[in-house]
Chains A and B, each alone.
Chain A
Amino acid sequence: MSQPATTTVEINGFPCRVWTKGQGPKLGFLAGLGGLPRWLPFLDKLAETRTVVAPSLPGYPGATGHTELDSHLDWVLTVRQLLDKAGLAGADLVGASVGGAFAAEMAAIFPAHVARLILIAPFGLFDDKEPAADPWAQRRDALPGLMCADGANWTALVAPPDGANSVEWPIEMSRASEAAARAFWPLGNTRLEKRLGLIAAPTLVLWGEHDTLLPPSYAQKFARGIDHGNGGATRIETIPGAGHLAYLDQPDAVARAVLAHLG
């Protein structure tokens, strides 16, 4: 697996890393909890036929500046600038988990910015009859199993690579968790339901069958909300053997579903 090309864009005066790899039409990726501490087999699969562009949101690995963002409007405008500066305006967009909530916001608020949309277990809703689990109140040994169907996949994502700084690496990982908390504390509920109906892009909602963080039934809530805008063109697909970060558990199956939706 070769490494992506790295560039840096400046958002609100802070650097944000942009990873690019592949060939073909551009496809943006906004990562889930934990961000992208390393390049992934899932993205490599997509890069076989698409130019994958993965910008890091402020506070996630490769980017800072989350401390400047006080409100949801701040976050939304920051993600919009990030897409623009990464050259993703008008491209297809995949967003997962916390990145999924922002991908949905982009498609709702700036419809011309997103061609086709794929949401993988996005944040943004909360149903008190089926409450989401709390990713920020977990014992250390319970967290991997909440993030992935196979906890080892999460552990591998955040493990320090050879030569990593033993002090700065764990701080970078906890910063990613803080950035997610800053935008989504305490329930992950950004009242996104009010805006789902504005999404006009053909949308695929993917959910890991074994997501113990966000109940898979939330997929229907998203699809119902979005259908108002795109006239029922929303599809739901469940990924067997996958947890919340389905692209870590089942990279090939998730990539196949994404590519099928893009046509």
Chain B
Amino acid sequence: MKLMWFHLMPYTELPEDFNQKHPSVWVDIHSSLFDPKRAHHMYNDFMDELEYAAELGYDAVCVNEHHSNGYGLMPSPNLIASSLARRTTDTALCVMGNSLALYNPPTRVAEEFAMIDCISGGRLIAGFPVGSPMDTCYAYGQNPSLLRERYYEAHDLVKKAWTEKDTFAFSGRYNQQRYVNIWPRPIQNDPHPPIWIPGGGSVETWRWCAEMDYVYCYLSYYGYKAGLSTMQGFWTEMEKLGKDRNPYRAGFLQFVGVAESRQQALDLYTEPAEYFYGRCLHVDARFATPPGYTTEATQRAGIESMVAKAANTASYSNKLSLKATNMKDIVDGGYVIIGSPDEVVEQIRHVATSLNVGHLMLLLQYGNMSKQTTKYNTRLFAEQVMPKVKDLFGDWEDKWWPKPLAKGQRAAVPAFRPQTVAAE
């Protein structure tokens, strides 16, 4: 299986009383909370951590896009990915991803992803999320009723820009360009870089991924227990559509904290986990449901399941537990897997097999976790967990993984030499 190291880049110094004094971590989070001098160190720490994960042999490093967000400091993940393209060698670069409808024209995504693919020697995974309501409709002012149509059209345009050999005119509902002809073009051109789709649990998205032969990724912050029914739904739909159970059709996000013992893990990871589930997920409900963002089919499925669940107190309490912000409930709920290396191995194998997920995206930094603790978590996982789970799904071929240039064909990137040293 593939083990991928994911960074959200959270602002690590939100105040203790953040939830009491501020309505939302997203959209209208106050500028006075942002100290650029501190962010200088945060960005550099985070990029050190991503590079460290690459050195330790994780299959990929992952970055994503958020706007006006106190737990996601990457409005442009492409900037981070381009830096990682120079500071890593063999690791896949998973940009998870670019919210297509936010780019005008969307060929900007085709171009920037092609640049990253060229610079990295063909290591790009191209993620295309619709984007959250907070990012797209509120922070970026996109019309929720047009968002999905724009997304699908932008997808068609980007894909055609990557694959069409001649300059072409694109006459869409929302995008019209007389001359589409991107330079540079991606190294992965057979037919294009792998496309992965992070999505919620809608049947429409599953069907689309199956039809296009894309990887579906469920990036929930609530872990494998809450994610089980979604992934079961996904595999049931794949079966209906006549698709095989190749686990590499799917990706899943999981928080992990590994230490010498379960107690030590609790000691190390309670604060950053509670910081994340408390302060980072403190999102004002008024930004959750812009009208038209959720399709009527998905609304209908949601209302019907609520009606079905109304009599079922177990599911109701399960829903409430999704709001847990203390470590015991966070761990009991499976949001964060913690333990000694062997305990984590057992749980990771359980997650991968029960959800049938070949691409496991790991959050080993979360909340206000320090660089030192992050590196410890990352190293211990790489050394003592990874070797005992890598064997999973060995019988399946990952047809959705980047195909970089052979090593001998790739540019030699000189080691970084700080100028102060050179001047001496």
Contact = CB atoms under 8 A, between A and B. Distances in A.
B291 A171 contact: no
A185 B144 contact: yes
Contact of B292 (A140, A170, A182): A182
Contacts of B300: 167, 171
Contact of A171 (B284, B286, B296): B296
A167 B303 CA distance: 6
A70 B307 CA distance: 34
A137 B287 contact: yes
A138 B286 contact: yes
Contacts, number: 59
Nearest to A185: B143
B138 A182 contact: no
B232 interface: no
B146 A170 contact: no
B178 interface: no
Contact of B145 (A142, A166, A181): A181
A251 B198 CA distance: 49
Contacts of A67: 145
A174 B286 CA distance: 15
Contacts of B145: 66-67, 178-179, 181-182, 185
Contacts of B290: 136-137, 181
Nearest to B147: A185
Contact of B291 (A70, A142, A166, A181): A181
B296 A175 contact: yes
Contacts of B299: 170-171, 174
B174 interface: yes
A191 interface: no
Interface string A131-163: 000001111101000000000000000000000
A177 B50 CA distance: 43
B21 interface: no
A246 B283 CA distance: 32
B173 A136 contact: no
A137 B144 contact: no
Given A137-B286, A167-B307, A181-B290, A70 B146 contact: yes
A136 B145 CA distance: 12
Interface of B: 137-138, 141, 143-146, 173-174, 284-287, 290-292, 296, 299-300, 303-304, 307
9 contacts: A137-B290, A166-B303, A170-B303, A174-B299, A177-B291, A178-B144, A178-B145, A181-B143, A182-B292
